[in-house]
Amino acid sequence: MLSTLANVPPEPTQAGDEGVELLELQQLKTQVLDALEERKGHDIRVLDIREMASFTDLMIIATGQSTRQVKALADRVVEVCKALGIRPIGIEGEREAEWILVDLGDVVIHIMLPNIRDFYSLDTLWSVPELQPSRQSSRHH
């Protein structure tokens, strides 16, 4: 647990409120990643989309092998965040548990079944392509 949170967790705040500002983005990311790894999430990726979107800073994508595991991963993320005093802005997809989105404001977590993740391909959609050198710059004049 974070040393700044010591013995008593703060009162839960809505994600996006000043309570989230007390947690550094890096600390929040670390806690979410630990929660996903603890429940054996697969192919966990962190995408920094600050330059591409204004609605969040980081997108974390993970795969669960069954609807039961997808639900367990999301439940653990929410549990860890609540212990840190952060209440998610929203949670979508819990009923079907094929793709659950947990919105923490600065961090949005997508937990999906493998076939759903392959179909929607968020990893590719939100990836920044590597810049290729132009043909002129690669030629010697």
DSSP secondary structure string, 69-84? HHHHHHHHHHHHHHHT
Q: What is the pLDDT of residues 60-105, one digit of tens each?
A: 999 999 999 999 999 999 999 999 888 899 999 999 999 999 999 8
Give buried/exposed letters for 70-87 (b at 16+ CB in 10 A, else e): bbbbbbbbbebbeebbbb
Residue 23: pLDDT band (50, 70, 90) is low
Does the residue 137 lie in any domain? no
Gap between the Cα atoms of 84 and 3, Å rounded: 11
Does the residue 101 lie in any domain? yes
Burial of residue 25 (CB within 10 Å: 0-12, 13-18, 19+) is: middle
Gap between the Cα atoms of 48 and 120, Å rounded: 18
Residue 18: which domain range? Answer: 3-124
Gap between the Cα atoms of 87 and 69, Å rounded: 21
Does the residue 130 lie in any domain? no
Does the residue 108 lie in any domain? yes
For residue 11, the domain's CATH number is: 3.30.460.10
Does the residue 41 lie in any domain? yes
Does the residue 8 lie in any domain? yes
Number of separate domains in the chain: 1
Mean pLDDT of 25-33: 88
Q: What is the pLDDT of residues 35-48, one digit of tens each?
A: 999 999 999 998 88
Share of the chain above pLDDT 90, in %: 45
Sign of the alpha-carbon torsion through 73, 79, 83, 88: positive
Does the residue 136 lie in any domain? no
Gap between the Cα atoms of 24 and 131, Å rounded: 30
Residue 51: pLDDT band (50, 70, 90) is confident
Is the CB of residue 42 less than 8 Å from the CB of residue 124?
no
Does the residue 38 lie in any domain? yes
